[in-house]
Structure 1
Amino acid sequence: MRARTWLAVPAVLLAAGCADDASPVAVPAASRPAVVAAAASSGGACRLLDFAVIAEHTGGAFDVAAATDRGDTHTCVVRARGAALPELTLAVTDTSIDATTFAADVRPRGAAKVTKLGKTAYRRTLPKAAGTGPVAEVGWLAAGDQLVSLRWTSPRGTAPAEVEKTGGKLVALAKVVDTRQR
């Protein structure tokens, strides 16, 4: 039985063309499929965000998310792969303040009041800073006793009027962020 096996091996190799042919075999390059993980896979406050929902409400295409937790504050930052800006940041902090205290102590002076968002809310546009363009911000006191803010930091050279429009889009996004999921 062993003799037959030893005789069969060379016959198979010859039949396969491996005997005297030393030419290289062309192997196609393995293509790596692009894997886009959901924002929620980063954990923390990123569990409250979805790239498709962000794009639907803001028009921004993001595919990278990172989360961090420090004490009672949970933060998520989303960006487009390979680009530092624009950047969307969501911060959620547990709190015991009420709507009156929020309006007096948290809402920035000059910020516009936003209706139908949490217990009370505001929106504002901040001027450009070193290395960035203007920033749109929406902040609110969520029903689950949490201070929440969404900030859109634009790239350098972005017109303030464009960021003001983005602020309105952030309000729409804020209205679908369910902080009770955290």
Structure 2
Amino acid sequence: MRISKEPEERKQEILEIAIKLFAQNGFEKTSISDIAREIGVAQGLCYRYFPSKDVLFQTALDEYANMLISKMTKGIDIKQNSLKEILNKMTLFSEHESDTYYQMFHDNQNKNFHDLLALCVCKKLTPIVQEIIIRANQNHEINISDPETCASFCVFGQLGILMNNEIALNEKSDRIKAFFNKLFNF
């Protein structure tokens, strides 16, 4: 008996099963037909929502990056908080193994996926940081002549610390906060 589902529900189901199979078998060894078989649907249904395996992967990457950005900015009001308040509230967070896509992006065989995720998060976070810098300029908290470049360095420049597994999470946070406080003369 065929089970009908709402389009968004079906799309999410395909996405979640694909991520599970990518994590278990690797991206290269997982086909759209494997995903369809796991769900119990025709292969064509998967292609209706995702025209290729690459698009399916990119969708998962974007979705997980958005989830992480949401966690990073939780409790911060970039329209109301001063730059100093934002820096004081800024915390590094740790992803959890129970997160929907954690296994796929953090398995040792998928290191390239993790690196792509880090870059995707940075690309999505940079305009947010740029907006914070522009607002801080307008409020005369700082005087940055090129907010776009500053935001890019603030976001992408952290990767060296964040991806260093020899540094404890709390030390990473302390180092990054100290750097920003010095950068912005707080």
- Please state which band the TM-score falls in when normalised by the shorter chain: under 0.3
Which protein shows a greater Rg?
1
Give TM-score scaled by structure 1 length: 0.24
Structure with the bigger percentage of strand: 1
Give TM-score scaled by structure 2 length: 0.24
Higher relative contact order (CA 8 A, sep 6+): 2
Structure with the bigger percentage of helix: 2
